[in-house]
Amino acid sequence: MKHPLLPLSETMHYILLSLKEPLHGYAIMQTVEEMSAGTVILAAGTLYGAVENLSKHGWIEPVPGETGRRKVYRITQDGERILEIERRRVEHLLSLYETRDLHEET
């Protein structure tokens, strides 16, 4: 059966992509805002819940050895696998945007 978090919501998608570099909570929000050109601005409760959810499924993990009070997260191998599945889905959708553009062909 398909994983309940798939397809990824926009929030989860951006967070997973941002965590290809290790970041703590607030830095995730800043990175996502930048990556999305200001269209996705995560609020505190949404970010906390998403990070909780993603670590529960083992797609992200706290970076060991970080000594600050803020937990720093990064993507895991399972998370990378999920992104690969999502990449194929999005690429397929994109290809449909090309081939189903019937107006341009006529």
Partner 1 sequence: MKKRRWFINLLKEEKWLNDRLAEGYACRRIGPLGGYTFEPSGRRMVMRLDYQDRMSAGKYEDYKMTYADFGWTLLKGSRWGSVQYWQKPADGRDEIFSDAGSLVAFYKRLTHYALTMACLFFIYICAVFNGRIFNAMFNIKASYLTDGLWEMEGSSFWRAFLFETPFAMLRFLPAWIFAICCLMCLYSYYQYYKLKKNYA
Our CB check for partner 1 shows the closer of 15 and 75 to be 15
48 contributes a contact to partner 1 by CB under 8 A: yes
Q: Which of 26, 81, 89, 96 binds partner 1 (CB under 8 A)?
A: 26
We find the least distance from the C-beta atom of residue 51 to partner 1, in angstroms, to be: 8
Please give the Cα distance from 68 to 3 (Å, whole number): 33
Helix%, strand%, coil% for the chain, nearest 5? 55, 10, 35
Spatial separation of the C-alpha atoms in residues 88 and 85, rounded to whole Å: 5
Which of the ranges 36-44, 76-84, 85-93, 96-104 carries the binding residues for partner 1, by CB under 8 A? 36-44
